[in-house]
């Protein structure tokens, strides 16, 4: 448990051991020096040093593995695009089939 104080509105909130673990794992993944916490009251960014967070964790604490960055959204987008071009191609050929009408 760790008490974090917002520098802007002086709101004090508590970070649980699990959220500290996730915070350290996130900072290590991004190779940053600070963890950016958000004040639950005013959404102000509070920078917390990694060392500060680590000190709150037990020595044998195993950092949680972060979920992999979402990628399936991109794949789905490509599928939609392919399907879209297919449906667009059909009526297009139909409008092109009628020959140009003879001009008066």
Instruction: List interacting residues with Zn ion (CB under 5 A).
Output: 6, 8-9, 11, 39, 41-42, 44
Element (H, E) at 26: helix 17-30
Q: How far is the CB of 91 from Zn ion (least distance, A)?
A: 56
Decide if 24 contacts 53 (C-beta within 8 A): yes
Decide if 73 contacts 36 (C-beta within 8 A): no
**Six-digit token pair at 1?**
């448990």
**Six-digit token pair at 104?**
């008066």
**DSSP state at residue 71:** -
């Amino acid at each position: 448990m760790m008490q974090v104080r917002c520098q802007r509105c002086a709101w004090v909130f508590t970070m649980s051991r699990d959220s500290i673990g996730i915070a350290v794992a996130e900072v290590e993944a991004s190779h940053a020096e600070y963890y950016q916490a958000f004040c639950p009251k005013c959404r102000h960014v509070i920078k917390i040093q990694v060392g500060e967070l680590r000190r709150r964790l037990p020595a044998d604490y195993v950092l949680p593995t972060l979920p992999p960055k979402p990628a399936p959204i991109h794949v789905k987008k490509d599928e939609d695009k392919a399907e879209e071009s297919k449906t667009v191609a059909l009526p297009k050929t139909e409008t092109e089939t009628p020959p140009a009408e003879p001009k008066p």
